[in-house]
Amino acid sequence: MSDKERFEELFNKHLIKDITEENIDIVLTGQYGKALELLRDAESTGLFPALVGPPGVGKTILCRYFASLRAKENKNKSFYWLTMDESIKPSHFIGSFDPAITLKKGFTLEAFNSGPLLSAMLEGGTFLANEINRATEYSQNTLLEPLEEASIGIPHLGRIKADDDFFFISAMNPEELSGTHRLSEALKDRIKVWIKLTYPEKATELDIIRINLPEHFFVEESELELIYSIINETRRNKIDIEIPASIRAGIAMAKLLARKRSLEKSGQLKEKKSVYEYLSDISRNVLLGSIKPKPGVKAENIIENIIHKTLGA
Ligand SMILES: Nc1ncnc2c1ncn2[C@@H]1O[C@H](COP(=O)(O)OP(=O)(O)O)[C@@H](O)[C@H]1O
Ligand SMILES: [Mg+2]
């Protein structure tokens, strides 16, 4: 088999043909159930919503789940998403002309490759503009027409009207976090349902960690509680920490601890350690890049303090 054939075989094997084929393990208690209901309310009233929250609180998974529900209800409605930053140009979401074909055939439909926003508009799918407030004002302004009129102008080709089922969701980190641009006032005025997500309540976050652990991975309830207390401590220390540990950090810690436990069980570990020792090591490895300290504060020092406070010396 040639490399090319091998590539094609693998590609087709792994291709996700439709969002309904994706199995999304989501916890819908607490804020997530309410947020989903708000997304539904927005959809059925023709309003476009925004999800606002720090990294790793579940904005993307909620949108994917919502899009999969819509797809299941009215068949083959696609889900597209694009994470924006200063380098994103309107052509990245609208689409662009293939230079080689354009040279031969001119600015024709044949030479045009659709971008994710245009595809969602044509197919009546869901489009998620992730980190929309990081896009430049110029790019943000291109989104005004799709939001306001459900239409969009494509250079050289004309103006299209979106399918009635087209739905546009924005997601962003709260504006006060550094490194993000502001959402333009014009765009803000066109988004009329603001859905805030924060770090979930303890019971919900523990459920999320559990649901994200592979089946054969096991951690005791008391160990999960310890992991939560470490993660939660990063969120309480607002003096030293600018961005605390997200849900992802807790999931990672639980996975690493579960692996130690399973190695122990199968007798593959030379020396057994206490859960406190395991979690101290795991905290150091996971938290180092999972928290963003305030300027002048060292992550290592914060982590040692948290370990001391939650796990003891
Ligand atoms: N309600 C939830 N149910 C299950 N997993 C969740 C939930 N919320 C967050 N997660 C998990 O937490 C991680 C971060 O979620 P994500 O949606 O990527 O956050 P964000 O888009 O806000 O950065 C992912 O691994 C996701 O699977
Ligand atoms: Mg995300």
CA–CA dist 260, 273 (Å, integer): 9
pTM: 0.89
Distance 16 CA to ligand 1 centre (A): 20
Answer yes or no: do 114 and 253 share one domain: no
- Phi/psi of residue 35, nearest 5 degrees: -65, -40
Please state whether beta strands 167-172 and 241-243 pair in parallel, antiparallel, or not at all (unpaired).
unpaired
pLDDT bracket for residue 267 (50, 70, 90): confident
Q: Which two tokens stand for residue 216?
A: 């054969």
Instruction: Report pLDDT for 75.
Output: 60
Q: Which of 27, 134, 247, 255 to mutate to test the pocket of ligand 1 (most atoms within 8 A of CB)?
A: 247
Answer yes or no: do 129 and 163 share one domain: yes
CA–CA dist 193, 191 (Å, integer): 6
Cα pseudo-dihedral 291, 297, 301, 307, rounded to 10: -40
* Ligand 1 neighbour 255 (Cβ under 6 A): no
Question: Is 181 within 8 Å of 136 (Cβ atoms)?
Answer: yes
Q: Which two tokens stand for residue 115?
A: 């971008």
Note the ligand closest to the C-alpha atom of 28: 1
* Ligand 1 neighbour 38 (Cβ under 6 A): no
Distance 34 CA to ligand 2 centre (A): 18
Note the ligand closest to the C-alpha atom of 31: 1
Domain end, chosen from 196, 222, 239, is at: 196
- pLDDT tens digits along 187-196: 989 999 999 9
Distance 135 CA to ligand 1 centre (A): 23
Distance 264 CA to ligand 2 centre (A): 35
Cα 52 off chain centre by: 12
> Mean pLDDT throughout 38-58?
94
CA–CA dist 274, 276 (Å, integer): 5
For 307: left if phi > 0, alpha if psi spans -120 to 50, otherwise beta; the answer is alpha
Query: Measuring from atom 17 of ligand 1, which residue has the nearest CA?
Result: 58
Please state whether beta strands 151-154 and 126-130 pair in parallel, antiparallel, or not at all (unpaired).
unpaired
* Ligand 1 neighbour 63 (Cβ under 6 A): no
Mean pLDDT of all residues belonging to the chain: 92
Domain end, chosen from 196, 220, 246, is at: 196
Answer yes or no: do 35 and 166 share one domain: yes
DSSP 154: E
Instruction: Tally helices (H) and strands (E) across the chain.
Output: 14, 11
* Ligand 1 neighbour 56 (Cβ under 6 A): yes
Domain end, chosen from 167, 196, 225, is at: 196
Query: Measuring from atom 20 of ligand 1, which residue has the nearest CA?
Result: 56
User: What is each CA distance from 297 to 83, 207, 241, 244, 302, in whole angstroms?
Assistant: 30, 32, 8, 13, 8
SS3 (DSSP) at 170 = strand
Answer yes or no: do 174 and 294 share one domain: no
Answer yes or no: do 207 and 192 share one domain: no
Answer yes or no: do 187 and 212 share one domain: no
- Nearest alpha carbon to residue 169 among 55, 51, 57: 51
Answer yes or no: do 100 and 172 share one domain: yes
Question: Within 10 A of 244 (CB to CB), how many other CB atoms are there?
Answer: 24
Query: Where do the DSSP E strands lie in 16-63?
Result: 49-52
Output the domain CATH number for residue 167.
Answer: 3.40.50.300
State the number of CA atoms in the 13 A half-sphere of 68 facing the CB: 17
Any residues with CB less than 8 A from the CB of 222 and at least 6 apart, and which?
275
Answer yes or no: do 188 and 212 share one domain: no
Residue 177 above 60 pLDDT? Answer: no
Output the domain CATH number for residue 239.
Answer: 1.10.8.80
pLDDT bracket for residue 301 (50, 70, 90): very high
* Ligand 1 neighbour 200 (Cβ under 6 A): no
Domain that holds residue 222: 202-311
Answer yes or no: do 167 and 268 share one domain: no
> Mean pLDDT throughout 82-89?
94
SS3 (DSSP) at 57 = coil
- In degrees, rounded to 5, the angle at the alpha carbon of residue 202 between the alpha carbons of residues 197 and 206 is 100
Answer yes or no: do 159 and 241 share one domain: no
Note the ligand closest to the C-alpha atom of 254: 1
Number of domains within the chain: 2
Question: Is 68 within 8 Å of 16 (Cβ atoms)?
Answer: no
Tell which atom from ligand 1 comes closest to the C-alpha of 61: 17
Answer yes or no: do 169 and 231 share one domain: no
- pLDDT tens digits along 98-137: 999 999 999 999 999 999 999 999 999 999 999 999 999 8
Residues above pLDDT 70, as percent of the chain: 96
Q: Which two tokens stand for residue 101?
A: 């074909």
Per the listing, tokens 């971008």 go with: 115
Answer yes or no: do 82 and 187 share one domain: yes
Q: Which two tokens stand for residue 81?
A: 């998403």
